[in-house]
Amino acid sequence: MAGNSFGEVFRITTFGESHGKAIGVIIDGCPPNVTVDEDFIQNELDKRKPGQSKITTQRKESDTCQILSGVFEGKTTGTPIAIVIPNEDQKSKDYDHNKDVFRPSHADYVYQQKYGIRDHRGGGRSSARETAARVAAGAIAKLALKQLGIEIAAHVSSVGTIDAPHVDISSVSEFEALRESNITRCADPATANEMITLIDSVRKAGDTIGGKVSCTIKNCPVGLGEPVFDKLHADLGKAMLSINAVHGFDYGSGFDGSSMRGSEHNDIFDVDSNGKVITRTNFSGGIQGGISNGMDINFRVAFKPVATIMTNQQTINKDGQIDEIKGKGRHDPCVVPRAVAIVEAMAALVVLDHYLRNKVYL
């Protein structure tokens, strides 16, 4: 009801404010006997953490997570897994200036109106810091998916108006190596260089810029997704739209599909050399009628530019009067390089959840 949980079988509940004692997550419904590789979890968190490079915010958080329960002798036991990530580098003083004024295009105003109270420090609960808890939970989900042979691979496919060409993912590990070879996490290195130049100039101007993340899920078995409301792509869409700053989601042919004709859009069934049923094209994005069909699942996520900019802006204060907000503090000029880990984590949560849901029918 209060919206801090996600998933039906593999269900996570996150907690924590940007400048409170800690953030964290409880995973309820993790299958037993998943081997928990803590280095892998930390590595996922490191991809999301602030302070990675000149194009991310300079807040320094080690984002070291601690597992409090649900794991015994290195394996999950089927009981709830609680993970806590302490907050460290909180410069709460930096936020004294917006205790009583509402930052434009942030959640300050609506939280105050909804609850009549808010923790204003660093955006409180509305801070994207909350997504670290999702990445930790997503890492556990990835470990479970890995045992099932399912892989997830996302990268930055556009920053501003710079679009990367389509990158084919035949090997996920090669794709990841290309992506991690540059600080903007675009798997096309030439485009990455352009993106870095752009982000850097935006940063110097005290401004921010949006971008897109593209994601592929490979080796997803046929049958995941529930017809009608809990279609696989509907849950993927909700998952992505729940990430801070996301303004759009499409899958398969996506928005472009709306200008196509059925005769070109239909994915003709075929049988490959191994006797496996495939479709010749994949405008369906691996999902038909809301259910995975065994092809690669493809989707895109659009991020608006970060609202925190380094220039002064008009706003209103608690009394409903015109005021001014000063541009200061630390900020991300472009979130998409850090968002890659979040998109993958949310995708892992959705796919594992639907994998487990589908076991009921088997």
Binding-site positions read 48, 54, 125-127, 244-245, 289, 304-308, 330
Task: Judge contact between 164 and 154, C-beta under 8 A.
Answer: no
Which of 61, 188, 250, 344 binds a second copy (CB under 8 A)? It is: 250
- Angle made by CA atoms 91, 96, 98, in degrees to the nearest 5: 115
- Token pair, residue 76, equals 């999950």
Q: How many chain residues interact with a second copy (CB under 8 A)? A: 144
Query: Could you give the count of Cα atoms lying within 13 Å of 209 in the half-sphere of its Cβ?
Result: 21
Closer CB to a second copy, 62 or 313, in the complex: 313
Three-class DSSP category at 169: coil
Separation between Cα atoms, residue 28 and residue 30, nearest integer Å: 6
Q: Which residue has the tokens 């679009």?
A: 163
Binding of a second copy by 230 (CB under 8 A) = yes
Which of 61, 151, 235, 344 binds a second copy (CB under 8 A)? It is: 235
Closer CB to a second copy, 9 or 183, in the complex: 9
Q: Name which of residues 270 to 329 contact a second copy (CB under 8 A).
A: 270-271, 275, 277, 279, 283-285, 288-293, 302-309, 311, 313-316, 320-322
In the complex, what is the shortest distance from the CB of residue 179 to a second copy, in angstroms, rounded to a whole number?
19
In the complex, what is the shortest distance from the CB of residue 313 to a second copy, in angstroms, rounded to a whole number?
6
CB < 8 Å & 24+ apart, contacts of 77-80: 77/32, 78/30, 78/31, 78/32, 80/26, 80/27, 80/28
In the complex, what is the shortest distance from the CB of residue 212 to a second copy, in angstroms, rounded to a whole number?
5
Q: Which residue has the tokens 């070879």?
A: 181
CB atoms within 10 A of CB 67: 16
Separation between Cα atoms, residue 155 and residue 176, nearest integer Å: 8
Closer CB to a second copy, 160 or 329, in the complex: 160
Per-residue contact track with a second copy, 27 to 66, x per CB under 8 A? -xx-xxx--------------------------------x
Task: Judge contact between 153 and 172, C-beta under 8 A.
Answer: yes
Binding of a second copy by 99 (CB under 8 A) = no
In the complex, what is the shortest distance from the CB of residue 64 to a second copy, in angstroms, rounded to a whole number?
14
Q: Name which of residues 163 to 202 contact a second copy (CB under 8 A).
A: 202
